[in-house]
Structure 1
Amino acid sequence: MTDTLTALRTAFTDAGVTGRIHALDIGSGAELDLYGDELVCTASIHKLPLLVTLHERAAAGDLDLTEQIDCPPLGRPAGPTGLAAMLDVARLSLRDLAYLMMAVSDNAAADLLLDRVGLDAVNRTAARLGLSRTTVTHSFGEMMASVKQDAGPGGAQALADPHVVARLRALDPAWGNRSTPRELTRLLAAIWRDEVCTPENGDAMRRLMALQVWPHRLASGFPFDDVHVAGKTGSLPTLRGEVGVVEYPDGGQYAVAVFTRTLSTAAIVPAADAVIGTAARIAVDALRERRTQKGMRSAEPG
Structure 2
Amino acid sequence: MAVTDTLGRIGAAFAEAGVTGRLHARDLDSGAQIDAGADQPVCTASVHKLCVLVTLHAQAAAGLLDLTEQLEVPPSAGRTPGPTGLSAMLDPVRLSLRDAAFLMMSVSDNTAGDLLLRRVGRDAVNRTTARLGLTRTHAVHGFGEMLATIREDAGPRGAAALTDPHVIARLRALDPARTNRSTPRDMTRLLAAVWRDEACPAPYGAAMRRILGLQVWPHRLASGFPFDDVHVAGKTGSLPTLRNEVGVVEYPDGGRYAVAVFTRTANPAATLPAADAVIGTAARIAVDALRAP
Q: TM-score, structure 1 length as denominator?
A: 0.95
Match of 2:50 among 42, 45, 48: 48
Distance, in Å, in 2 between the alignment partners of 1:23 and 1:215 is: 19
Query: In the alignment, which residue of structure 2 is the partner of 1:22?
Result: 24
Distance, in Å, in 1 between the alignment partners of 2:120 and 2:152 is: 27
Query: In the alignment, which residue of structure 1 is the partner of 2:106?
Result: 103
Question: Per-residue CA shift, 1:192-218, capped at 9, x if unaligned?
Answer: 000011111011100100100100000
Question: Per-residue CA shift, 1:111-159, capped at 9, x if unaligned?
Answer: 0000100000000000100111110010000011111111111111111
Distance, in Å, in 2 between the alignment partners of 1:86 and 1:166 is: 32
Query: In the alignment, which residue of structure 1 is the partner of 2:152?
Result: 149
Question: Per-residue CA shift, 1:65-114, capped at 9, x if unaligned?
Answer: 00001111332111111111111111110000000000000000000000
Query: In the alignment, which residue of structure 2 is the partner of 1:296?
Result: none
| Unaligned stretches of 5+ residues in structure 1 | 293-302
Distance, in Å, in 2 between the alignment partners of 1:183 and 1:257 is: 9
Query: In the alignment, which residue of structure 2 is the partner of 1:280?
Result: 283
Match of 1:175 among 170, 178, 192: 178
Query: What does 1:1-302 correspond to in 2, within 5 Å?
Result: 1-72=3-74, 73-289=76-292, 292=293
| Unaligned stretches of 5+ residues in structure 2 | none
Report runs of 4+ in structure 1 exceeding 4 Å deviation.
none
More displaced stretch, 86-95 vs 179-188: 86-95
Give the letter aligned to residue 146 of structure 1: T
Q: TM-score, structure 2 length as denominator?
A: 0.98
Give the letter aligned to residue 87 of structure 2: A
Give the letter aligned to residue 204 of structure 1: A
Shift of 1:60: 0.7
Distance, in Å, in 1 between the alignment partners of 2:150 and 2:83 is: 15
Question: Per-residue CA shift, 1:23-56, capped at 9, x if unaligned?
Answer: 0000100001111000000000000010000000
Larger radius of gyration: 1
Question: Per-residue CA shift, 1:152-203, capped at 9, x if unaligned?
Answer: 1111111111111111100000000000000000000010000011111011
Give the letter aligned to residue 202 of structure 1: G
Distance, in Å, in 2 between the alignment partners of 1:152 and 1:78 is: 18
Give the letter aligned to residue 143 of structure 1: M
Distance, in Å, in 1 between the alignment partners of 2:244 and 2:35 is: 15
Distance, in Å, in 2 between the alignment partners of 1:266 and 1:207 is: 33
SS in 2 for 1:153: coil
